[in-house]
Structure 1
Amino acid sequence: MNPPQIANGHTKQLHDQLPPHRTAVISNSDPASCVREAERILGYSFLKPKLLEQALTHSSFSNGTTSYERLEFVGDAALNLAMTNYLYLSHPDLGPGHISTLRSANVSTEKLARVAVRHGIYPLVLRNSPKLDKQVEEFTKAVVQEPEEDQIYGGSTKKAPKVLADVVESIAAAIYEDSSFNLDVMWKIVRRLLEPLITADTFGEQPVTTLYELCQKSGKDVKFHIWQKGKTTTVNVFVDSELVGYGSSKQKTIARLNAARDALEKLNGEKSNLLIKSQRKEVGDEEEAKQKLNEFCMKRHWPPPVYKLEEEKGPAHSRTFICSVHVETTNDTFIALSECRSRVKDAEKSAALKMLSIVVKEVICVV
């Protein structure tokens, strides 16, 4: 894919495919080599290469070049604004709360750090910090082991060294300034690095979100119990008071992700036996069917069931009735007919029982 034509700068052909988590061996004492390689990765040739050199200079490196702190500060703001613009224009139906959530997910420290790893940016950073090198090396090894889908959201195995995200933000600021503060130019370049972006359609793929949605559809209650022991956070996931997932990490958010994934694996692996068992509990018998159906609909914010007398049979002294019940879900409308009953109320209960069987099964199938 050819990069866009950029004003106020010269584009380069992006390399065909960067190996994931590449570890280019470049002497970080040679600023010119680092700048050239960074331009190749970005597909952008700087009018002012010194800006890119500054963006790649850590405070531990002494070569007379100002470190990236000022650029990182501007890049953080510019990235947030560019991402906000993109989400606002591409998701016209989203409210400010959802836009804020998606923006945060796309420019979080955890996600930006993985962008730096994926594109081999850290080897280009001018630095003199063995401790930092060790942290990044350990983090990179952990990222390689992460499930691919988790990397989109920031992974789940190890907290990212902030330097990785800072460098991505400083590079964004360098492009922003080099292009005469053209936000569109900066966004076109940086967006390629950020892909795949988290969108409203894919956000639900995150383990914690998926678990909540899965259980919400079947009216189940999800609780995360979190406690600290030393430097380790442990998280248990309970679904309707039953333990279904466990995770631990030195980072609370990572422990939570691990626990959610564990719960999903167990629920899916057992074909959601916990939820299927609940079907029998939800349906019950005719006597409580109307009440249970009302509660079932309320939990999902569906309109209340609508009952209708469909048919009367027989003479007055032995008349029977058939009733229907209509339930409107988020995406469909279901209708169930009762068995013949001697009273209208009993016919409604019969219809409600049949409807419960339909909607509970439908929810579990959707899950």
Structure 2
Amino acid sequence: MAPPPAMKPASRKRGPPAPDPVELPPPGFVADRAEAAARVERLLRYQFRDGRLLEEALTHQSFADDAVSYQRLEFVGDSALGLAFSNFLYLTNPTLGPGPLSTLRAANISTEKLARVAVRHDLYPLLRRNCPRLDLLVGQFIETVKQEPEDDLSTVPYGGSVVKAPKVLADIVEAIAAAVYVDCKFDLEKLWKRLTWLHGLQEIRWTVNTNNIKDWINNFIYGKRLVTRWLFEPIITAETIDEQPVTMLHELCQKHGKMAQFKTWQKGGMTVVNVFVAGELVGIGSSEQKVIAKLNAARDATRKLAGAKKQVLTTGVGNGLGDEIGELRECKQKLNEQCSRQNWPKPIFK
């Protein structure tokens, strides 16, 4: 009797590919959980009534099968921060309509913004986890953020210039905020305005005299010197926010009756995006991640169209080389892909 045919191994669902190894120090880990909790409480100037909430907020789902992770808290924190910022922006921007207010809220609670909050306050080492690939992604992002200009908010809401923010960093911030919110019996005012009165009383004692006590109290009540707001500073305002780069580029071109075209190609492990307007190459962006490469290309094109390439919008006169270069690169890429599929020798271009 013939043996049964060999069974094919079941296919496994795979997550996002791990980035190429780089020489980076791995993010640390605070093994002493009491010290990890104390760091968060010192940062927030808040003492938790239920310490289990903070333990839950600092536990990733990869840590252990029987451990309660931050996922439920992150769900609550996402909504709580959204409502808290809605209230704050509504009160501090009395002339803005719902559209601009929504844009500001989204910018302040975006994954990119919250991830930088986590990096700035060194929260990732406090997280219990068991995922080396996650450590590598976060390590790369931390190194990238360190190279960004201080308080440069122009790229934050929509993505940095090199690496997209790992969602886990934003999740940590949302989970910690939710832990405070639940610990305060779902009191949104306490979450946003004050996590403890002790910090405020100390400030009154050391910084306020009888001449400006009224102004200080007003500032305290309306969120000017409060712990939670301090945690999220610098806050993105109507004066500091930029439009989404791709949207800004399209709107700029449409004003002059032109259209921006994006062409993508691969160079090694990098994605390169070229931007063409009226047949002219006006912007180039690259990154390991396609979405970041497109954002970089749009930013580059917008800068050039406001300066050296301004005549492309006003006259539409280009040398035509942009389309030719882009098409040539596209053809080379397709030929390389075909040779790879057929196991043919790699073509040599002269």
8 A Cα contact 2:108 2:235, kept in partner? yes
What is the 5 A alignment of 1:278-317? none
8 A Cα contact 2:107 2:113, kept in partner? yes
Alpha-carbon separation, structure 1, partners of 2:63 and 2:308: 57
Relative to structure 1, is the Cα distance of residues 224 and 175 closer, same or farther in structure 2, using a 3 angstrom cutoff?
Answer: farther
8 A Cα contact 1:109 1:162, kept in partner? yes
Alpha-carbon separation, structure 1, partners of 2:50 and 2:102: 33
Aligned to 1:346: none
Relative to structure 1, is the Cα distance of residues 152 and 184 closer, same or farther in structure 2, using a 3 angstrom cutoff?
Answer: farther
Relative to structure 1, is the Cα distance of residues 221 and 115 closer, same or farther in structure 2, using a 3 angstrom cutoff?
Answer: farther
Aligned to 2:118: 116
Q: CA deviation at 1:212?
A: 6.1
Query: For 1:57, which of 31, 56, 59 is the aligned residue?
Result: 59
Aligned to 1:162: 167
8 A Cα contact 1:24 1:120, kept in partner? no
Q: Number of aligned pairs?
A: 256
Is 1:259 matched up with 2:297? yes
Question: Once the two structures are superposed, what CA deviation does each residue of 1:90-110 show, in whole Å capped at 9, x if it has no partner?
Answer: 223333332222222211112
Relative to structure 1, is the Cα distance of residues 221 and 129 closer, same or farther in structure 2, using a 3 angstrom cutoff?
Answer: same
Which structure exhibits the higher relative contact order, with contacts defined as CA atoms closer than 8 Å and separated by 6 or more residues?
2
Residue identity opposite 2:229 in structure 1: R
Q: CA deviation at 1:209?
A: 6.3
Which one is further off, 173-182 or 242-251?
242-251
Relative to structure 1, is the Cα distance of residues 136 and 25 closer, same or farther in structure 2, using a 3 angstrom cutoff?
Answer: closer
SS of 2:68 mapped into structure 1: coil
Residue identity opposite 2:264 in structure 1: W
Aligned to 2:146: 144
Q: CA deviation at 1:239?
A: 4.2
SS of 1:244 mapped into structure 2: strand
Alpha-carbon separation, structure 2, partners of 1:194 and 1:24: 25
8 A Cα contact 1:150 1:156, kept in partner? no
SS of 1:101 mapped into structure 2: helix
Question: Once the two structures are superposed, what CA deviation does each residue of 1:166-212 show, in whole Å capped at 9, x if it has no partner?
Answer: 11100010111111211122224443222112222222376556656
Aligned to 1:171: 176
8 A Cα contact 1:26 1:34, kept in partner? no
Alpha-carbon separation, structure 2, partners of 1:216 and 1:139: 35
Is 1:30 matched up with 2:68? no
Residue identity opposite 1:183 in structure 2: L
SS of 1:203 mapped into structure 2: coil
Q: CA deviation at 1:228?
A: 5.7
Alpha-carbon separation, structure 2, partners of 1:94 and 1:29: 47
Query: For 2:83, which of 81, 85, 93 is the aligned residue?
Result: 81
Query: For 1:225, which of 262, 276, 291 is the aligned residue?
Result: 262
Is 1:246 matched up with 2:284? yes
8 A Cα contact 1:220 1:239, kept in partner? no
Aligned to 2:223: none
* Structure 2, unaligned runs of 5 or more: 1-24, 194-226, 317-350
Relative to structure 1, is the Cα distance of residues 40 and 50 closer, same or farther in structure 2, using a 3 angstrom cutoff?
Answer: same
8 A Cα contact 2:86 2:105, kept in partner? yes
SS of 1:44 mapped into structure 2: coil
Is 1:274 matched up with 2:309? yes
8 A Cα contact 2:27 2:139, kept in partner? no
8 A Cα contact 2:71 2:175, kept in partner? yes
Is 1:130 matched up with 2:168? no
8 A Cα contact 1:143 1:151, kept in partner? no
Relative to structure 1, is the Cα distance of residues 227 and 33 closer, same or farther in structure 2, using a 3 angstrom cutoff?
Answer: same
Alpha-carbon separation, structure 1, partners of 2:179 and 2:91: 25
Query: For 2:229, which of 191, 195, 200 is the aligned residue?
Result: 191
Query: For 2:48, which of 41, 46, 49 is the aligned residue?
Result: 46
8 A Cα contact 1:75 1:169, kept in partner? yes
Relative to structure 1, is the Cα distance of residues 25 and 213 closer, same or farther in structure 2, using a 3 angstrom cutoff?
Answer: closer
Q: CA deviation at 1:26?
A: 6.6
SS of 2:94 mapped into structure 1: coil
Residue identity opposite 2:59 in structure 1: T
SS of 2:309 mapped into structure 1: helix
8 A Cα contact 1:56 1:167, kept in partner? yes
SS of 1:198 mapped into structure 2: coil
Is 1:94 matched up with 2:96? yes
Aligned to 1:237: 275
Query: What TM-score results when the alignment is normalised by the length of structure 2?
Result: 0.63
Query: For 2:238, which of 197, 200, 203 is the aligned residue?
Result: 200
Alpha-carbon separation, structure 2, partners of 1:252 and 1:25: 25
